[in-house]
Chain A
């Protein structure tokens, strides 16, 4: 494990500047309600505008509609979008991971069918991993795909499916052959499923504040053609693990409360800040600078062809706890009774952070699971 310091090249700084100008033009401060990180509103028009700049699926090859840009370039775009609180929800999953999975494991036909549409910002994806009886123990998934002529018949249930009610496609981890004794990682496959398929039912699981992100998706004899199987049959576990490496360690794991902190400073303009509040900005600026350097070095490592799963797990575990700590520090210092309908934007955002951030250390793999992934890769004293 080694995090090597890196910095942006002039070209990368130019990209950063371009994104900042785009955001200042599209979403000037005060004109929009910032989103809290990757749990962002879905705004297809915004996604299409980003895509027109080449910023969706940007690391995918030009041949498939991408821009052949690097993981660091993508880091820069994502970082600016998230710190601005931009509504990136529509293209988020396709851009972050599904495009990569299809490029790496998909057939030519699948690449042609999905990648250009992802890069145009058109397609929204959901991820089908958890089930009622399979959460952290993901390999125990039991939703079955059984052989039919020219395809598969699917029966079972997926839960915590974000955005299934709005998205187009569902990338599911399914059991395509029965569990063998002692090898639960075998017999799993990834299959792309049209969320409008007959027999597929989507029911909301209201979030604790009543909002609708999560769903339960049930499959009742849902037919999927052979051409929708991603990669080799039975290789789903391996593919899924690879996918997780793209999912972890990026700015989405440490920037979620940034727009809230920034808004506090914006609303305080002209008034005398208490020393303790000024100190908090100092501490947070330093800590964001530190964790950003770690996270950026992971992106640089991905560009050298590495799959830094230990490093990205460490950053995600640390980053999501940091996000919660930021909120706790704000709560501790700011003596107000804020609520989701406060007049002040800062107060509304803070209330939203308080209520929704417990999920940050759970989604995409709990920090307990991340610790066990990361600790296997830790090195002791050199021998």
Chain B
């Protein structure tokens, strides 16, 4: 295997062009009202993008994890209302890692944390019961992927959405985060490859959110620069005022920072051990989202608080993603344990060397 360190520029261009055409403000708004966006999903699926990074032999589109995360960054940039992470690098990855078939349609995955699910194995059969919370886009999924620890091993249940009960719920951006009830659903037992467990899934989920957030913060920063250069008060564009420039600079810094850490974590994850980078990237993305949404909203004034202006598609997603796959406290704690266990002399080598410096 080669070790691709750079994203194929064609991936960025193609994804960006696709969403620029079909995923404007009205389309995203409509998806929120309807709770689904089949036209956007179908156009996205036609390109094969949802399955990038999953081997062709396993039914995927091939390509690297770096490429897949770049697609997610572009999805975040356009606030595309589709379960791109769930179908590909989360659900698709779990299915491929447990030797299961990739369906043609939408896949979602039950995030770990908060759900009360029970799995029991009897012979070749796994039985899943309980309630899963905040499952992205379950209502439009073909299959719901459930990773579980059962008897000390990690197994992946691939469940037909027809075999469970879905109750529509949403996140702060109005995107589906449904409640799903499983009542003794029987599926074949499918253990994961070694090294792929609930912890690895948690980190991968965080990596997906860091990529989405990097895209959304960048778009938000650009939108704010454009708006403040157009908006005239006291006879000149408000972007000329120092007090407003402060918000523009802070937004741009957080856009640059969030993208840098997401891309650096992606590079390391593409190679192997990347726990430090992913944890740090998600924490930094969370903090950047908090600061940048505040700065960009402030610079927009009242217009940014309306539904007719597109800022909220980005800011509300960022507030939601900040809490998904680990909020500030979870990753701060994880990082704190690592930093303290390294000790004073190894603190700086941890900062420069990252995951390569421990384990």
Give A residues with C-beta under 8 Å from B: 1, 3, 5, 7, 16, 29, 79, 83, 258, 261-263, 265-266, 269, 273, 275, 278-294, 297, 311, 314, 317-318, 368, 370-372, 374-375, 378-382
Contacts and interface: CB of A to CB of B under 8 A. Distances in A.
Interface in B334-354: 334-340, 343-345, 347-348, 350-352, 354
B239 interface: yes
Contact of A83 (B246, B335, B337, B348): B348
Contact of B344 (A263, A280, A371, A379): A263
A292 B352 contact: yes
A265 B226 contact: no
Interface string B264-300: 1001000000001101110110010000000000000
A278 B340 contact: yes
Interface stretch (B47-55, B187-195, B249-257): B249-257
Contacts of A286: 279-280, 283-284, 331-332, 335
Given A263-B344, A379-B222, A381-B223, A282 B336 contact: yes
Given A281-B335, A282-B335, 10 more contacts: A269-B343, A282-B337, A283-B335, A285-B339, A287-B287, A289-B280, A292-B352, A374-B252, A375-B248, A380-B223
Nearest to B350: A285
Nearest to A286: B280
A269 B345 CA distance: 11
Nearest to A311: B256
Q: Name which of B248, B333, B352, B354 has the most chain A CB atoms within 10 A of its CB.
A: B352
A382 B17 CA distance: 12
Contact of A379 (B225, B287, B338, B339): B225
Given A293-B260, A314-B249, A380-B229, A262 B223 contact: no
B259 interface: yes
Contact of A368 (B221, B242, B350, B351): B242
Contacts of B283: 282-283, 286
B333 A5 contact: no
Given A262-B347, A279-B332, A381-B222, A273 B257 contact: no
Nearest to A83: B348
Q: Name which of B223, B242, B259, B264 has the most chain A CB atoms within 10 A of its CB.
A: B264
B115 interface: no
B65 interface: no
Given A269-B343, A281-B339, A288 B252 contact: no
6 contacts: A269-B343, A282-B333, A282-B337, A283-B283, A289-B351, A292-B351
B253 A317 contact: yes
Contacts of A83: 348
B86 to A, nearest CB: 26
Contact of A294 (B245, B260, B344): B260
Contacts, number: 143
B181 interface: no
Nearest to B259: A3
Q: Name which of A278, A297, A374 has the most chain B CB atoms within 10 A of its CB.
A: A278
A293 B261 contact: yes
A55 to B, nearest CB: 17
B352 A380 contact: no
A311 B340 CA distance: 32
Contact of A380 (B226, B263, B264): B226
Given A293-B264, A371-B245, A282 B338 contact: yes
Interface of B: 219, 221-223, 225-226, 229, 239, 242, 245-246, 248-249, 252-253, 256-257, 259-261, 263-264, 267, 276-277, 279-281, 283-284, 287, 331-340, 343-345, 347-348, 350-352, 354
Minimum-distance CB pairs A-B, first 5: A282-B336, A282-B335, A380-B226, A286-B280, A266-B344
A70 to B, nearest CB: 17
Contacts of A261: 347
Given A16-B352, A266-B344, A290-B284, A282 B332 contact: yes
Given A280-B336, A285-B351, A290-B284, A314 B226 contact: no
A265 B340 contact: yes
Nearest to A255: B348
Interface SS, A side: helix
A331 B61 CA distance: 52
B260 A278 contact: no
B251 to A, nearest CB: 9
Contacts of A5: 260, 263-264, 267
A254 B124 CA distance: 57
B299 to A, nearest CB: 11
A297 B345 contact: no
A284 B257 CA distance: 15
B226 to A, nearest CB: 3
A110 B248 CA distance: 42
A382 B280 CA distance: 30
B245 A375 contact: yes
B249 A258 contact: no
B252 A1 contact: yes
Contacts of B253: 314, 317-318
B350 A265 contact: no
Contact of B225 (A16, A273, A297, A380): A380
B239 A375 contact: yes
A372 B242 contact: yes
A291 B332 CA distance: 17
Contacts of B263: 5
B245 A279 contact: no
Contact of A287 (B245, B284, B336): B284
B345 A314 contact: no
Contact of B256 (A3, A278, A285): A3
A281 B252 contact: no
B245 A273 contact: no
B343 A291 contact: no
A199 B359 CA distance: 64
Contacts of B260: 3, 5, 290, 293-294, 297
B221 to A, nearest CB: 8
A294 B264 CA distance: 10
Contacts of A16: 352
A288 B335 CA distance: 12
Given A282-B338, A283-B283, A291 B245 contact: no
Given A5-B260, A290-B280, A282 B242 contact: no
A278 B337 contact: yes
